[in-house]
Structure 1
Amino acid sequence: MNKMLILSKPTATKDQVMQFIKNTKTAHSLCYAIVPMIYDEAIKVGINPVVAVAQALKETGYFNYKGVLRPNFCNICGLKGSYGGGDYDPNAHKRFEYWEDGVKAFIDHLALYCGVKGYPKYSKETELYYNGKGTFYDVNKYKKNGTTLDPRHFTYLLGTVKTVEDLSGKWCPSKTYGEDIIAIVRKIEGTKISEDSKVNKEKILNLAKEIISEIEGK
């Protein structure tokens, strides 16, 4: 059986993704504002946006944040700080100021794993980490590729993952991590669009934006 590539064209439309969110009664309203950001950022680097969305949904519990991550972390993938720490230690996890920052850091981290051309980028937190370890970090080389807010943009991760299945035991210790993401991807791909989805989606999108403003303190 062929494995699911992370770098590929979209296997479902954004409308299918949002319809899937609507159909998932337990999904938080935040999904309506943040999921489109993930979809768009993933496409920019050649990642199948459906895979990226499915991974974020798994990591955040459909943005209900009932685990160690809290909404005000603006962290959508369980990303830790450069020095890592315990999975159940909230202080070990990166806190971003804005949702857009969290989304971009997530996509940059996944793109690094997949070996996307133009990576690694320059990460200030990663530089400080390497300096603290006494390890050379080629600042000028990586700055040519741009900058990233990914705190764990470790160069040794480049190209170590190609398929969703490969994420198991690498991105996450769980051996079923990739399978869980694939299960969500398949559900999204099989979602059919309903006629009234656009009207309802606009109403919930406005609500989601209000929630984001409240969380970010705007």
Structure 2
Amino acid sequence: YWQEASHEGVRQDLAFAQALVETGFFRFGGDVKPEQNNFCGLGTTGGGVKGAHFKTPEIGVRAHIQHLLAYTTQKHPSTKIVDPRYDLAHAIRLERGLCDTWYKLNGTWAMSPNYSEKIMGVWQRMLGIEAVETKSEKYKNEHDKKDNKVKEEVNTTEDQHKMRELVDELLKKNK
């Protein structure tokens, strides 16, 4: 999501929050199945309609980002269009008005009158999650701490040496 959204100037965190809402936090469970790589419900209308299928997760994410562009801006995607509904969605939004806020997706992207509130709620919860340190980060941080400890020990030894010299000088002057 970070790569694809960055290419198009779309907020990565909000697009990802939308994917979490659309997929039930990637548990799916609705009409779209995980193997479809359809993270935004493209082409689903309920009642068992499966919607679009994308060969890879990357292409599925790209289609999601492109669909957001179709709803929100006059500019075309900078990448080759993979969203099968892009032209139709873009034409409709140009005719009826672009969604220049997430709130305007209510009743347009999804029929729910609280659709954007669901996305914003997930996004706010994302902001409150503490980052988890990976094993490689933990290893690096432990080694950084060890390196800093060695540097501190060296600095402490040097400071102690300088302090002794200063004390010796003061003692000599006062004799």
TM-score under structure 1 length normalisation: 0.55
The answer as to 2:92 corresponding to 1:156 is yes
Match of 1:109 in 2: 67
What is the alpha-carbon root mean square deviation over aligned residues? Answer: 2.1
Q: How does 1:142-181 map to 2 (within 5 A)?
A: 147-153=80-86, 154=88, 155-158=91-94, 160-181=98-119
Taking a change above 3 Å as real, the CA distance of residues 198 and 162 of structure 1, as seen in their structure-2 partners, is same
Match of 1:187 in 2: 125
Question: Deviations 1:129-183 (Å, cap 9, x if unpaired)?
Answer: xxxxxxxxxxxxxxxx653111111223246111111111010000010000000
Match of 2:160 in 1: none
> Which of 58, 77, 90 is matched with 2:49 structurally?
90
**How many residues in Structure 1 have an aligned counterpart in Structure 2?**
132
Question: Deviations 1:62-82 (Å, cap 9, x if unpaired)?
Answer: 1111111111111101001xx
Which one-letter code corresponds to 1:76 in the other structure? Answer: F
Gaps of 5+ in 1: 1-37, 122-144, 202-218
Query: Which structure exhibits the higher relative contact order, with contacts defined as CA atoms closer than 8 Å and separated by 6 or more residues?
Result: 1
Question: How many angstroms does 1:106 deviate by?
Answer: 0.5
Which one-letter code corresponds to 1:172 in the other structure? Answer: A
Gaps of 5+ in 2: 138-175
Q: How does 1:30-69 map to 2 (within 5 A)?
A: 38-69=1-32
- State percent identity of aligned pairs: 32
Counterparts of 1:151 and 1:200, CA distance in 2: 40
Counterparts of 1:200 and 1:87, CA distance in 2: 43
Match of 1:199 in 2: 135
Taking a change above 3 Å as real, the CA distance of residues 95 and 116 of structure 1, as seen in their structure-2 partners, is same
